[in-house]
A and B are shown apart, each in its own frame.
Chain A
Amino acid sequence: MINGIPINGIQSTGAESKLVSSKPVELSVDLRRCEVLNASDPGSLAAVLQGGGELSSDCDEQLLITVAFTTPVKLFSISVKAPANAPSELHLFSNRTSMAFEDAEGMPPTQTIALTSTHVAGTPVPVQYVKFQNVSTLSIFIPSNQEETDVTTLHQLRFDGHPIATTNMSELKKMG
């Protein structure tokens, strides 16, 4: 409605979902451009983004994950699966290239999400949709974990939303 996309599918309740005209889909991530800082095994990021793995922090409990999407997207929600030492907060930065820890601590994030133990079972946590209307790169800074230990661990990260400016092939119809 708002952006001219015809209504189809389920109308969900909630203030934020009124803005959404269609069901959010899982967003595909460009693994080559993704990066993680202060991880004991940087290669495990790919597994975590693709369905399941284990990403642990190295020197201290902080992690800085940079995720690049294949196309610009409107980000709707984030789902996190983690064990007991899950992140306590997620600081989201939209469209910042080459972030380091100094930048993450100095700059105000686009949004801060507080995670509780209920969230880390994989439930999607909605974001402030209006702030993430055109995201190509999303940086997630994790300052501490729920257990207050030295190591933070993640099992899975998943992003849902709508890709921008892509052709929906199923709706392509011959004119006339």
Chain B
Amino acid sequence: VWAAEALEGAAFYCTVSCTSLAGDCAALPLLHSMVLEASFLCVDNSNFMRNGDFAPSRMEAQLDAVNLLSGAKTQSNPENTVGLLSTAGKGIEVQVALTADVGKILSLSHGITIGGEANLSAGIQVAQLSLKHRQNKNQRQRIIVFVGSPVKEDEAALVKLGKKLKKNSVAVDIINFGEEAENAAKLEALLNAVNSDDNSHLVTVPPGPHVLSDILLSSPIIQGEDGAAAAVAAAAATGGGGGDGFAEFGVDPNMDPEFAYALRISMEEERARQEAEAAKASDGDKEASGAGDAEPQSSSEGAMSEAGGAAPRSTEGAAEAESMETDTSGGELDEASLLEAALAMSMPTEAAATAAVTTPVAKPPATTPDAPPPPRPDNVPTETETTPVPVVDDVDMADADEDGDEAMQLALAMSMSQASEPAPAAAPAATPDLTSVLSDASFLQSVLGSLPGVDPNDPRIQSVLNSAGALPAEKDEQDSDEKKGS
């Protein structure tokens, strides 16, 4: 049961990520380098943070980065803890003690007020003290400090501080932004003093229109040494290209085999779903026009039939055309091919060319009075009511032949235009093209006469036909299903 739940959860996340990345599932949150670590973030809240060179302001960019970092740390290992302090203001102030609750950090980080001057060494020392008193002694100690204002301490003092940190097994990540040229030398010295076997990093963010969080995403602070990890924050923020390692998702088979399995299953499900959709699109043989969207159409039709009234019909027809658009995520061209296949199967003797013709021809009856395929409220269920349409097409073809090549030519012309257009768009677009067809009274009459259950004497039909063009008085006016008479 748990496996199923994990699958569902993972599948949901995977499909969400997949769809948002156009099918590329490379960026998914994963448990990489599970280093057990306690990290303390030191935020610079001096007056220099009012500066807007990092949009919207340096302070906002920092808080965004704090959010990113704390999320990344706690995601990479659930036992990781993160703390937060501010280095300027009235003095060093610990905003959040070491905690695994990212929400707490996020909510309290926004309460930091800007002012004063940053005291880098004092901030680092307070962070070190907090780390010394962490609950879980097995956690590594790390300080991540943001430097956005000029550093007051001299290089020698920073080196001494760095050596002390190194001896106490504390790693330091320095994010140099804002006044980075001025501070570069001092922070480099600090990094060299504290760096032990490459556990500490210095990230320099030059001025420019970049987002601080994005730069941190690709930096070794989140990525780790080998850079192979870190789809963690990548998925959370931009959703772009995580490490491509084993099983396409980084090292997840080694780190978390159950999660890897869940991801694999969800990938396959997604693939199967897309294949099923494509198969469904080509599978619409029984239903004629819009077989793939016959169901949503019929459901919307059912709703519409209950609503009743002729006026809503036209709008509903348009709505249906839209539903046709939205439903076929496979693309509108699929619908055209879908119709072709449907008609080809319903008319085995017809040539492929004529099948193409019948495709748009099937559309005109469907859209004649702005109506979708004919379900009648007081008739049999909607699915079967779509079946008359192919029959209509058959008769249309015969009638077209009888009526002569004129109608055929018109239909062919329409089919050319419609085949190149998206099918649902073709529906409204075809409507103006249809007026010429509709004006062909005999053709129209034959169309309406072949529709089962259509009463040609219905005044609504007559009104439509009148508007469409010349109408012989004795023309059968059938109750148009498309009108969806109440």
Segment of B1-9, B114-122, B166-174 in the binding face: B166-174
CA distance A35 to B164 in the complex (A): 17
User: Is there a chain B Cβ closer than 8 Å to A56's Cβ?
Assistant: no
User: Is there a chain B Cβ closer than 8 Å to A33's Cβ?
Assistant: yes
A98 B133 Cβ-Cβ under 8 A: yes
Q: 7 other contacts beyond A42-B169, A59-B163, with CB at 8 A cut-off?
A: A32-B137, A38-B167, A59-B196, A97-B133, A100-B168, A101-B164, A101-B167
**11 A-B contacts (beta carbon < 8 Å):** A32-B137, A38-B168, A39-B169, A42-B169, A58-B167, A58-B196, A59-B163, A59-B167, A59-B196, A60-B167, A102-B164
B169 A38 Cβ-Cβ under 8 A: yes
CA distance A1 to B132 in the complex (A): 42
**CB-nearest residue of chain A to B132:** A98
CA distance A42 to B169 in the complex (A): 9
User: Of A32, A35, A66, A98, which is in contact with the most chain B CB atoms at under 10 Å from its CB?
Assistant: A98
Given A98-B133, A100-B132, A62:B167 Cβ within 8 A: yes
Residues of A within 8 A of B164 (CB): 101-102
CA distance A102 to B164 in the complex (A): 9
Residues of B within 8 A of A38 (CB): 167-169
CB within 8 Å: A-B pair count: 32
- Could you give, for residues 77-110 of chain A, a 1 whenever the CB lies within 8 Å of some chain B CB and a 0 otherwise? 0000000000000000000011011100000000
User: Is there a chain A Cβ closer than 8 Å to B138's Cβ?
Assistant: yes
CA distance A146 to B168 in the complex (A): 23
Minimum C-beta distance from A43 to chain B (A): 10
- Could you give, for residues 153-194 of chain B, a 1 whenever the CB lies within 8 Å of some chain A CB and a 0 otherwise? 000000000011011110000000000000000000000000
Residues of B within 8 A of A32 (CB): 137-138
A interface with B by C-beta (< 8 Å): 32-35, 37-39, 42, 58-60, 62, 66, 97-98, 100-102
User: From DSSP, what is the main secondary structure of chain B's interface residues?
Assistant: loop
Q: CB within 8 A of B167: which of A34, A37, A42, A98?
A: A37
A59 B137 Cβ-Cβ under 8 A: no
Interface residues of B in 118-139 (CB under 8 A from A): 132-133, 137-138
Residues of B within 8 A of A60 (CB): 167
B interface with A by C-beta (< 8 Å): 132-133, 137-138, 163-164, 166-169, 196
Minimum C-beta distance from B356 to chain A (A): 73
CA distance A33 to B134 in the complex (A): 12
CA distance A60 to B132 in the complex (A): 20
Given A32-B137, A59-B163, A98-B133, A37:B168 Cβ within 8 A: yes
Residues of A within 8 A of B169 (CB): 37-39, 42
Q: CB within 8 A of A35: which of B133, B137, B163, B166?
A: B137
Minimum C-beta distance from B200 to chain A (A): 13
CA distance A98 to B167 in the complex (A): 14
User: Of B133, B137, B166, which is in contact with the most chain A CB atoms at under 10 Å from its CB?
Assistant: B137
Residues of A within 8 A of B133 (CB): 97-98
Residues of A within 8 A of B132 (CB): 98, 100
User: Of A35, A66, A100, which is in contact with the most chain B CB atoms at under 10 Å from its CB?
Assistant: A100
Given A59-B196, A98-B132, A100-B132, A33:B167 Cβ within 8 A: no
CA distance A59 to B166 in the complex (A): 8
CA distance A24 to B385 in the complex (A): 94
Given A59-B163, A100-B132, A33:B168 Cβ within 8 A: no
CA distance A32 to B138 in the complex (A): 7
Minimum C-beta distance from B36 to chain A (A): 11
CA distance A32 to B168 in the complex (A): 18
Residues of A within 8 A of B137 (CB): 32-35, 66
User: Of B132, B164, B166, which is in contact with the most chain A CB atoms at under 10 Å from its CB?
Assistant: B132
CA distance A49 to B263 in the complex (A): 41
CA distance A59 to B133 in the complex (A): 22
Minimum C-beta distance from A130 to chain B (A): 29
Minimum C-beta distance from B137 to chain A (A): 5
Residues of A within 8 A of B196 (CB): 58-59
CA distance A34 to B137 in the complex (A): 7
CA distance A66 to B137 in the complex (A): 10
Minimum C-beta distance from A125 to chain B (A): 26
A101 B168 Cβ-Cβ under 8 A: yes
Minimum C-beta distance from A22 to chain B (A): 32
CA distance A33 to B137 in the complex (A): 6
Minimum C-beta distance from B145 to chain A (A): 19
CA distance A154 to B168 in the complex (A): 19
**CB-nearest residue of chain B to A103:** B132
Smallest CB-CB A-B distances: 9 pairs = A38-B167, A98-B132, A35-B137, A59-B167, A98-B133, A100-B168, A59-B166, A37-B169, A37-B168
CA distance A105 to B189 in the complex (A): 26
**CB-nearest residue of chain A to B193:** A59
Residues of B within 8 A of A42 (CB): 169
Residues of A within 8 A of B167 (CB): 37-38, 58-60, 62, 101
CA distance A101 to B128 in the complex (A): 12
Minimum C-beta distance from A102 to chain B (A): 8
**CB-nearest residue of chain B to A101:** B167
**CB-nearest residue of chain A to B134:** A98
Minimum C-beta distance from A157 to chain B (A): 17
Residues of B within 8 A of A98 (CB): 132-133
